[in-house]
Amino acid sequence: MKIFNISFAIIFILFALLQYNDPDPYLWIPIYGYAAIVCILNARNKYDRFAHIAGIIFCIGFGVKQLFTRDGVIDWISKYQTENLVQSMKATKPWIENTREFGGLMIILLVLLINILMHKKSRS
């Protein structure tokens, strides 16, 4: 799990750095920074259940918002026929940005869940 957490800490740090040119870096740099810090703590065997639960609650809550918001994930699927997400971001296509952000939240959520499950497994 140490390699897993170090790898994702590096990935989340890179994600945070890539947010510099984002329309809302003040939001996404701390989100990815938080995920990186949790992974670093796990890699150092300093598991914090509260940090994981708080991150999971945040990702689920914000993820639900990204699903149902105007030009969110559901609109990307239904109105925009799952338009290619790897094209350049344009202000005229906010559904691409919202869907990418949802994907980032789901990656964080998955990593946090894996850490919780592996911590429980190692304790038993």
Q: Following DSSP, what letter does each residue of 35-102 receive, concatenated?
A: HHHHHHHHHTT---HHHHHHHHHHHHHHHHHHHHSTTSHHHHHHTSTT--TTSPP-TT-HHHHHHHHH
| Band of residue 91 on the pLDDT scale cut at 50, 70, 90 | low
Q: What is the pLDDT of residues 41-60, one digit of tens each?
A: 999 999 999 999 999 999 99
The pLDDT score that the predictor gives to residue 58 is: 98
CB contact at 8 A, 40 and 5: yes
Q: Is a pLDDT exceeding 80 seen at residue 1?
A: yes
Q: ∠ at Cα 21 (103, 71), nearest 5°? A: 45
DSSP 66-81: HHHSTTSHHHHHHTST
Please state, for a pLDDT cut of 90, what percent of the chain lies above it. 75
Q: What is the pLDDT of residues 65-81, one digit of tens each?
A: 999 999 999 999 999 88
| Average pLDDT in the chain | 92
Rg for the chain (alpha carbons), in Å?
16
Instruction: Return the DSSP state at 93.
Output: -
Spatial separation of the C-alpha atoms in residues 4 and 9, rounded to whole Å: 9
